[in-house]
Copies of this chain bind each other. A is one copy, B any other.
């Protein structure tokens, strides 16, 4: 189990891949670039979904569902968006198979069943949704439209990695329509804030909120808000984005509304999304050489109880002692799992739950039963204490809260240690090479500089922080004047 995991210091990338598989989160499939999300990984995703879904509804959004396919003519209507995704589209061209006359028992595509117009498997749904909104919006009374959809999307990536970059992934995509620019801008910022709160409070991952440079913007957006996190290997990860789309899609699909005053105006739009990529961020922020480390808020099991016994009599005595403990924990809404399997030894189970990142493990043997105690082990610190059963519920709830807080504090400390202010390009390159992390540097605001830095170092502008301080400075690359630092990093 844990001991067979490659160490992060040896090969971070290999460690990640092994961990995802060994902790039963996901695995590759027979379909190039597509993953199987295993039950344990999916249970974490389900918790993320249910918390986010609640937050979306609290901010006035409803769920709906739009088609998986986008006819090519709609796909290409908003040119920048189409251009941005054209090179990674799965395309449906036929709607039937037939028996292969040359190979008995095999099938082939029926050439007579060619579609008149090809269908794109959605890489994102702006096109199909705005083509629909067109029919829903006539007057200001029909606005705003505040919808979200939980869906699968496909982007034909050439280099894929479980959760981080897969050809098919699961996500939610919000698509809203507004009467005014200000309202749409407010919405885009609001949803970026919802993401920031979720990622920090539930995933225990500190993030920087910012806007993307023009080169890094979503294809078709006028402004892309984002939350950026820092992984343990010093690379950044974009954890969520919220786009102010202006009137681009309204113009491409001719969506206008009658104002109160009777004039016709194009509608303003936003879209925003987070995906199963968040699973990658979760894993890479907290986990260690022993395996996954989960923040209690998202752990499918917050506590696992492992009995340590010889023979049926001890097993039964422990089960009896454990029953009221489970009961008391569940009453406090603690998600507890009693692993009473007789097919596996305690050592095996200890390893398994360490690898799977269960925040707290309770070990209980015959002596504990006699003494009214249990052994309580923390996954984050790997520390163990003996706790009186009478104190256990308090201790568990207190410790779970502490783990949640400590994980966030540790990740924040790591990010602070790995954010470096830099004022010249030699230092920029050296820090990036030797230390990694975020580099806070002045930038002259031109795409030429951004591209030159990327080509020279592979670092990109992760974001222009929204709470960045105005200060006079000169661009780390060109020396031209700049009035704000931006964050550079190599990124996932």
Contacting residues, chain B, for A406 (C-beta < 8 A): none
Complex Cα gap A46–B70 (Å): 24
Across the interface, name the chain B residue whose C-beta is closest to A149. B42
Contacting residues, chain B, for A75 (C-beta < 8 A): 97, 107
Complex Cα gap A29–B91 (Å): 18
Complex Cα gap A31–B107 (Å): 26
Tell me the A95-152 residues at the B interface (CB within 8 Å).
95-99, 105-107, 109, 118-121, 128, 131-132, 135, 141, 147, 151-152
Contacting residues, chain B, for A156 (C-beta < 8 A): 95-96
A108 CB → nearest B CB, Å: 8
> Which one, A81-89, A353-361, A454-462, is touching chain B?
A81-89
Most buried by B among A72, A89, A91: A91
Interface SS of chain A: mixed
Contacting residues, chain B, for A71 (C-beta < 8 A): 30-31
B92/A121 in contact, CB under 8 A: yes
A92/B91 in contact, CB under 8 A: yes
A332 CB → nearest B CB, Å: 21
Complex Cα gap A200–B169 (Å): 35
**Interface assignment of A59: CB less than 8 Å from any CB of chain B:** no
Complex Cα gap A67–B153 (Å): 11
Considering only CB atoms and an 8 Å cut-off, how many residues of chain A contact the other chain? 64
**Interface assignment of A314: CB less than 8 Å from any CB of chain B:** no
28 A–B pairs (Cβ distance < 8 Å), ordered by A: A29-B128, A30-B71, A36-B64, A39-B63, A39-B64, A39-B147, A42-B64, A43-B62, A43-B63, A69-B90, A69-B168, A75-B107, A76-B107, A86-B98, A87-B97, A87-B98, A89-B95, A89-B96, A90-B94, A90-B119, A91-B92, A91-B93, A91-B95, A93-B93, A95-B156, A96-B156, A121-B121, A152-B152
Chain A residues near B (Cβ < 8 Å): 27, 29-31, 34-39, 42-43, 46, 62-72, 74-76, 79, 82, 86-99, 105-107, 109, 118-121, 128, 131-132, 135, 141, 147, 151-152, 154, 156, 168, 170, 343
A42-B62, A86-B96, A89-B97 are known contacts; what are 13 more A-B pairs with Cβ within 8 Å?
A: A30-B74, A31-B69, A35-B67, A68-B154, A68-B168, A69-B90, A75-B97, A76-B105, A79-B105, A90-B94, A91-B93, A93-B109, A96-B156
